Chains A and B, each alone.
Chain A
Amino acid sequence: MQILVNMISLSAFYVSFALGLALIFGVMRTINLAHGEFYMLGGYVLWLVVVVLKGIVPGPAIFMVALVVGCSTVGLLGLLLQLSLFRVLRSQPFAILMATLGLSYIIQVLVMQFIGPMGRSVPTLFRGFIRTETMIIPYQRLAVAGLVFVAITVLWIFLTRTKPGRTVRAVAQNPRGAILQGISLARVSAMTMLIGTGLAAFSGILIGSINSVHPFMGTDALWRAFIIIIVGGVGSIPGAAIAAVLFAVLDTSLNATGMGHLAPMIDALLMLGVLSFFPHGLMGTRE
């Protein structure tokens, strides 16, 4: 049963992280390699908020403040990136990929210089845990899983029930058709970037509250997100979610059976295997 808890917890994290990336790629047809760094920045915002508000405000409140501050500031940063760099290089999506690669190093160095290269740990903000006969569920993890669930639901509602959300999906499915319908590609791209980056920060804050934060946590997490997106299918948002859960289950099982250290290799092999038979991923329909 404990395993189930861990699986859900890990799924939550994988999904939120990969989803932001998949969203950006699905809509803007370009990969933001600095996505991991935005995730990292989210984590650092949490740490900063903790440093500032610790002892003044109760744990859960700190967490909420961090979420609001983190997601909005990092989201705005992403927006800024989109409005500047992405706009300039708009005609060469591959150049954007490389530019964001460069950007990720810039952000890493800045964080290391101004905050320090060592990781920082964040104290548990939701203290206590539920204990049953078969498992222990720290409130922190519960909060994290719950929040991800809420976020995903909100996102789903946004994408399927609201007009702006449906516009985003329209562009993701058929950019040219969307333009012909009078949809402003620029506005949709901006909105997508805001949401996608905000999601990255969101997962950074969540993970930061459980583990520690360090300047390289972005790169550590990013390659897994790539595997998830490839397996899920390029441009497919539900595909990314399903693949995320798949890998979370796999990784938790490996951890539980003591083969956790083999997880990266097995994950990559699985990706390569899927790619051999489904070049567009499990649910990819693009191109």
Chain B
Amino acid sequence: MKVRWQKNRADVGDYGSEAPTATHRVINLRTWVLVASILGAAFAALFLPFLLSTYDKEILVLFVINVMLVLGYRTITTMGGWSFAHTAIMGLGSYTMAILTQEEFGVSFWLTLPLAAVAAGIFSALLSYPVLRTRGFYFFLSTFAAGEALRQSYKQFTGITGGTYGISFIPRPESILGVSFESTISYYYLVLIFTIVIAIMLIMFNGSRFGRTITAVAQNEELSLSIGINTRRYRMIAFVLGSAIAGVAGVFFANFNGIINPADFGSSLMFKVIAAAIVGGVRTIWGPILGLFYLTMLEELFFSYADWVPLLWGVSVIGILIFAPNGLESIATSFLTRCRASITRLFDALT
């Protein structure tokens, strides 16, 4: 009784980036396309800033910082949770840096980077105790409330955080090896390097047994428990890792702007992050980046109608959920698969 449920290898290939088996490392057309696009993107990334106006350069820097933030968010979603506290935790990193680099403490920017990651990490680890007992909706709601509480404390502890006025005159990083970071272009390369390193780290983490276990827990928690996986621990690791990355993003965000206040970490930025994840999709690393790119393009295109932008984002989110729930990445992937199929057919026809 052989049932005709056979699917083609393309399905399995889609999960190639997560499978540890050697069979999917074979060089094929898809790999060439991938390599070409990575090189193209790298080229663009390296030289783009010189082509842009001052304003656009700043947008580019903020875009890269947001990419870092969104990558951190995706890490949390790999364990199945959609948090709403992400940008508030980012703020923790921001305030850590902003406070410590002030004159009275005089800590070097470079030291505040790991400190901010640690601060965000510790907070999220503590938060995970109550919050990871929940799933799905309740996780969303409880992180919503926790994030709001955190933001409120940014407003309330005026002595430390400057309250609603925040902290200004945040100094740029000290020079390293003679390279100063006062200019936008040098700052761009700084955040670009950090983001690329983090992205590579996450790709490796995803493909490792660690990352796969987290995916397993997200797929089927009951089963994972029964085969000995400490689901609580793995979910917490994803949550803490993603939050630590948010903390680092927060450092750059606040530092680049030179000024922060609690409003920066409110629900509109959080919505942007979530929208990027939904519109782009979270299965791959580049999915949320694609989503963020789309949202940022929208924002820049409608610059003169800036107030309408959240509405456009909202419409985009609803549209994707209805028509392409797996996000832009799935549209891109199936498009590329079909290209590959047609090119293969072309090859066959010619030979």
Interface residues in chain A, defined as those with a beta carbon under 8 Å from any beta carbon in chain B: 25, 30-31, 85, 88-89, 92-95, 97-99, 101-106, 108-110, 112-113, 117, 219, 223, 226-227, 229-230, 234, 261-262, 264-265, 267-269, 271-273, 275-276, 279
Contacts and interface: CB of A to CB of B under 8 A. Distances in A.
Given A103-B318, A275-B130, A95 B325 contact: yes
Interface string B95-110: 0000000000000000
Nearest to B322: A88
Interface string B133-166: 1101110111011101100110010000000000
29 contacts: A31-B137, A85-B318, A97-B140, A98-B82, A98-B274, A98-B278, A98-B317, A98-B321, A99-B321, A101-B317, A102-B313, A102-B317, A105-B271, A105-B313, A226-B142, A230-B141, A230-B145, A234-B138, A265-B153, A268-B146, A268-B149, A269-B149, A272-B130, A272-B142, A272-B146, A275-B142, A276-B130, A276-B133, A279-B134
Contacts of B307: 109, 112-113, 117
Nearest to A113: B307
Nearest to B148: A223
A272 B131 contact: yes
B156 A265 contact: yes
Given A102-B314, A275-B130, A31 B148 contact: no
Nearest to B135: A287
A256 B131 CA distance: 30
Interface of B: 82, 127, 129-131, 133-134, 136-138, 140-142, 144-146, 148-149, 152-153, 156, 267, 271, 274-275, 278, 307-308, 310-311, 313-318, 321-322, 325
A227 B321 contact: no
Contact of A223 (B145, B153, B156, B310): B145
Contacts of B311: 105-106, 109-110
B271 A101 contact: yes
A271 B131 CA distance: 10
Nearest to A92: B325
